[in-house]
Structure 1
């Protein structure tokens, strides 16, 4: 008996008749992570993520490679916003009303993800994923899964980013 995979590869047929995956698994390392949009902050690699259901001007969440303490991911997320968007604080989006109460910075979760990277520009499909990567949440036992720490941006809606919630049985635990 086999269990369903948490993700599927799209396959295409090449000119020679051989089939090839349209995407490949990608395990980020220092050079690849920075080249793919992560920033390095105190030996952590962090990136902002958008919500899959909408296109936002600013990230709704953050991913840090590896399992990290909550305080470290908050600091890394703040550094990301400072370096990428010129913010000096993580609390509000630009233009937000500072009198609106944001109760606290959301907790971070320790989970796993599979990074899928589309082949380079010499790949002939010409689709919208050209030279990009995306991440799919996955159990720790999934092929190619790497540990990540994720945190929703405090000004984003609670459902933004579709982050795993350990309280709802997701394959994740709360960072401390």
Structure 2
């Protein structure tokens, strides 16, 4: 799940009335593959949902670190092949192949903060256990991780809410 804007850690109230964090900052590392990322030629890539989470396939892709545009396209295609079993990056399964879609969008170099639920000391056993969400942030935000992001070519332009360097977002175009 991705949200925009500055982030707040979710808190919950314990049995004794004390508030404690229900999320923690997560820096994806060796455990990234266990949390939805695949490794393709040394790049960690995952598909991302739109904020409504009502799509069957990802509307964008996130690669950890700042990567070249061509490398994220290859990693996105590998993600779709491995996770969803298809190689066509231009259409979603079931789309009309005669329908014109825009060319592959450019990737952006930006930063994000990953928040994991729940805080390990206060597991709540809810449906969000061991899940994470990402929020786009400036590079100066505590816990910010460098990311290369690209929306899926068949997704609506505004669906992924990926930062746009042409609109003042904290991002630059990948080379």
Q: Hey, what does 1:9 align to over in structure 2?
A: 9
Q: Give the deviation of 1:32 after TM superposition.
A: 1.2
TM-score if structure 2 supplies the norm length? 0.91
- Ranges of 4+ aligned residues in structure 1 off by more than 6 Å: none
- Coordinate RMSD, CA, aligned: 1.8
Q: Decide which moves more: 165-174 or 96-105.
A: 96-105
Alignment of 1:138-149 (within 5 A): 138-149=137-148
Question: The residue matched to 2:72 in structure 1 has which SS?
Answer: helix
Q: Hey, what does 1:38 align to over in structure 2?
A: 37
In 2, the alpha carbon distance for the partners of 1:142 and 1:122 equals: 24
Runs (5+) with no aligned partner, structure 1: none
Deviations 1:69-89 (A, max 9, x none): 000000000000000011122
Q: Decide which moves more: 121-130 or 143-152.
A: 121-130
Q: Hey, what does 2:99 align to over in structure 1?
A: 100
> Would the aligned equivalents of 2:48 and 2:58 in 1 still touch at CA under 8 Å?
yes
Q: Give the deviation of 1:13 after TM superposition.
A: 3.4
> Would the aligned equivalents of 1:47 and 1:62 in 2 still touch at CA under 8 Å?
yes
In 2, the alpha carbon distance for the partners of 1:160 and 1:169 equals: 18
TM-score if structure 1 supplies the norm length? 0.90
Alignment of 1:91-130 (within 5 A): 91-119=90-118, 123-130=122-129
Q: Give the deviation of 1:122 after TM superposition.
A: 8.0
Question: The residue matched to 1:160 in structure 2 has which SS?
Answer: coil
In 2, the alpha carbon distance for the partners of 1:172 and 1:94 equals: 31
Q: Give the deviation of 1:20 after TM superposition.
A: 1.9
Q: Hey, what does 1:24 align to over in structure 2?
A: 24
Q: Give the deviation of 1:119 after TM superposition.
A: 1.9
Q: Hey, what does 2:89 align to over in structure 1?
A: 90
Q: Hey, what does 1:76 align to over in structure 2?
A: 75
Change (3 A) 1:124 1:69: closer
> Would the aligned equivalents of 2:118 and 2:124 in 1 still touch at CA under 8 Å?
no
Aligned residues: 171
